């Protein structure tokens, strides 16, 4: 099940680790976040090593819908109400800076980078859209309101951010990864203080960045409470609709639309990992009804880490772990989230103050409604009787008939039918 990006891109390959290594910075995880962090440190002449347990970008980065935008659903009214005007401004400016960095890097990369307007629509709740426009006005950003939305759904309008972008993420990665100090097929089995233990030796580092999608160390940071994971599905259709823009429902369970050359990428069918949902069948049913002459060329699924308050965790892994950093919880906006993380972590590693870092501080309050939901799911699944148990924290696994995998509703680990781990935080196969 290859994504469009995986089927049309060729990534460079890298060796595995050979013997013990000493370095200034160890980056664990070879997705977009880890690679961008490595790239920015490389530009500054800082000594680093990046290790990836498989091939680079074989996880969520290779399965994204690849929208580069600082319009993350209807986020700005939420931040304005929960954390105030200054935090909302900083969130916007941090992601805008990330967007501009992509624009610079994509000038020299053959990665299908295109400027497109982005639209967040609602099928039922016009007031939520109007409230977002009002919040953006207070922040100082002028968004547009669209009455007519060019997708085959009945909507009550959309909030438009002009001049956003889309690209092929793996073609972009193939350009920036050249010359980086990367070891593939090198899994970090455990951390001993500032030392990583792999199958090929040890890596001694002054600073460590966990860019592993879901943070893998449980004794610090309480990420097993602060994060859950969400599956979403995509079909790439030939002979469907040509859109001049990117569209996404403000409802997390809604649908998204964007083109890649002659293909329409239709997304949706989402659900919390370990739960049931519409998956590809929902998308195929919609395509059959609305795009009756279309043909499915590719299909794939992605998994996203969701934070308690819709803001990523970027910075020190915990208040007790100086020189150990994390980036996670991008809430389906992984492209700008990855770049924002890389820019903040670069500055922290260099001892520079980043003016936006406090908004993303991983040690901020966890007293949010989603915490109760996450806690309930964890307790329920730990107490559920099941032969298959997740090696991460012992939760019951549920069979995912659409994808033929064993999935954990507590924290989102997934395993193939034969027990091979597919998605973390589990760091090993089923026994």
Q: Which CATH number covers residue 263?
A: 3.30.70
- Residue pLDDT, tens place only, 306-321: 999 999 999 999 998 9
150 Cβ contact list (under 8 Å, min separation 6): 243, 244, 245, 247
**Residue 112 is assigned to a structural domain of this protein:** no
Residues 12 and 34 grouped into a single domain: yes
CATH number at residue 21: 3.50.50.60
**Per the structure, how many domains does the chain have?**
3
251 within domain boundaries: yes
HEC letters along 173-232 = HHHHCCCCCEECCCCEEEEECCEEEECCEEEEEEEEEECCCCCCCCCCCCHHHHCEEEEE
Residue 92 lies in a domain: no
Q: Is residue 147 part of a domain?
A: no
Q: Where are the alpha helices (DSSP H) in 273-368?
A: 279-290, 334-349
Q: Mark 31-49 as b/e (b = at least 16 C-beta within 10 Å).
A: bbbbbbbbbbbbeeebebb
> pLDDT of 60-112, one tens digit each?
999 999 999 999 999 999 999 999 999 999 999 999 999 999 999 999 899 99
Counts of helices then strands in the chain (DSSP H, E): 10, 21
User: 398 and 256 share a domain?
Assistant: no
User: For residues 106 and 378, which has the higher predicted lDDT (pLDDT)?
Assistant: 106
232 shares its domain with 252 = yes
pTM: 0.96
d(CA 38, CA 327): 13
Same domain assignment for residues 406 and 264: no
Assess contact for 272 and 308: CB atoms under 8 A: no
Same domain, yes or no: 356 and 334: yes
Do residues 331 and 211 both lie within one domain?
yes
pLDDT band, very low/low/confident/very high, at 380 (cuts 50, 70, 90): confident
- Residue with tokens 């664990």, as numbered in its chain: 28
121 in a structural domain: no
pLDDT digits (tens, 9 = 90+) for 226-235: 999 999 999 9
Whether 352 and 241 map to the same domain: the answer is: no
Considering the domain architecture, whether residues 395 and 406 belong to the same structural domain is answered as yes
Domain boundary, last residue among 342, 360, 378: 360
Say which residue, 36 or 377, is predicted with more confidence: 36
User: Is 94 a member of any domain?
Assistant: no
Rg (CA), the chain: 21
Report angle CA 200, 205, 206 to the nearest 5 degrees. 170
**pLDDT above 90 covers what percent of the chain?**
91
- Tell me, yes or no, whether 245 and 291 share the same domain: yes
DSSP 322: T
Q: Cα torsion for 303, 309, 313, 315, to the nearest 10°? A: 170
Q: Do 409 and 300 sit in the same domain of this protein?
A: no
- Indicate whether 109 belongs to any domain: no
Q: Does residue 19 form part of some domain? A: yes
Residue 379: band (very low, low, confident or very high) from pLDDT cuts 50, 70, 90: confident
Parent domain of 188: 4-64+171-225+309-360
Query: pLDDT per residue over 406-431, tens digit each?
Result: 999 999 999 999 999 999 998 889 88
d(CA 357, CA 380): 35
Same domain, 259 and 374: no
Domain's final residue, options 341, 360, 379: 360
User: Whole-angstrom Cα distance, residue 240 to residue 291?
Assistant: 6
Q: Could you tell me the two tokens for 320? A: 């007790």
Please say which residue of 263, 289, 304 terminates a domain. Answer: 304
The answer for residues whose C-beta is within 8 angstroms of residue 292's C-beta and 6 or more apart is: none
pLDDT in tens, 276-286: 899 999 999 99
316 and 328 together in one domain: yes
Q: Which residues pair with residue 154 across a beta bridge?
A: none
> Would you state the pLDDT for residue 418?
93
- Chain-centroid distance of CA 277 in Å reads 20
358 half-sphere exposure, CB direction, 13 A CA radius: 8
Is residue 259 over pLDDT 90? yes
């Amino acid at each position: 099940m290859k994504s469009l990006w995986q089927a049309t891109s060729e990534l460079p390959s890298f060796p595995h680790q050979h013997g013990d290594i000493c370095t200034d910075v160890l980056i664990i995880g070879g997705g977009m976040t880890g690679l961008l962090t490595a790239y920015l440190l490389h530009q500054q002449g800082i000594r680093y090593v990046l290790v990836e347990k498989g091939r680079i970008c074989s996880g969520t980065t290779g399965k994204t819908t690849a929208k580069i935008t600082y319009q993350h659903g209807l986020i700005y009214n939420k931040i304005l109400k929960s954390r105030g005007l200054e935090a909302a401004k900083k969130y916007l400016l941090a992601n805008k800076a990330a967007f501009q960095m992509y624009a610079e890097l994509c000038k020299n990369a053959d990665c299908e980078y295109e400027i497109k307007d982005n639209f967040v629509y609602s099928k039922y709740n016009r007031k939520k859209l109007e409230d977002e426009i009002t919040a953006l006005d207070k922040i100082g950003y002028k968004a547009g309101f669209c009455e007519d939305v060019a997708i085959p759904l009945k909507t009550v309008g959309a909030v438009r951010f002009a001049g956003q972008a889309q690209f092929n993420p793996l073609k972009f990665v193939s350009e920036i990864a050249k010359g980086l100090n990367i070891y593939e097929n090198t899994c970090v089995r455990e951390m001993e203080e500032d030392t990583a233990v792999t199958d090929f030796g040890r890596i001694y580092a002054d600073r460590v960045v966990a860019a592993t999608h879901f943070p893998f160390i449980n004794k610090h940071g309480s990420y097993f409470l602060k994060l859950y994971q969400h599956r979403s599905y995509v079909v790439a259709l030939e002979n469907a609709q040509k859109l001049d823009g990117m569209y996404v429902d403000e409802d997390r369970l809604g649908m998204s639309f964007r083109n890649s050359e002659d293909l329409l990428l239709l997304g949706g069918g989402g659900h919390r990992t370990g739960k049931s949902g519409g998956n590809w069948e929902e998308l195929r049913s919609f395509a059959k009804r609305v795009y009756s002459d279309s043909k499915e060329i590719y299909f794939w699924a992605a998994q996203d880490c969701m934070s308690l308050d819709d803001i990523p965790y970027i910075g020190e892994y915990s208040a007790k772990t100086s020189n150990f950093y994390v980036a996670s919880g991008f809430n389906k906006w992984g492209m700008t989230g990855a770049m924002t993380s890389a820019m903040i972590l670069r500055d922290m590693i260099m001892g520079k103050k980043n003016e936006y870092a406090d908004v993303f501080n991983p040690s901020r309050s966890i007293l949010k409604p989603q915490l109760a939901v996450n806690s309930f799911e964890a307790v329920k699944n730990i107490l559920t009787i099941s032969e298959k148990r997740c090696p991460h924290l012992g939760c019951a696994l549920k069979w995912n008939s659409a994808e033929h995998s064993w999935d954990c509703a507590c924290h989102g680990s997934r395993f193939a039918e034969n027990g091979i781990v597919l998605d973390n935080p589990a760091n090993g196969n089923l026994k």
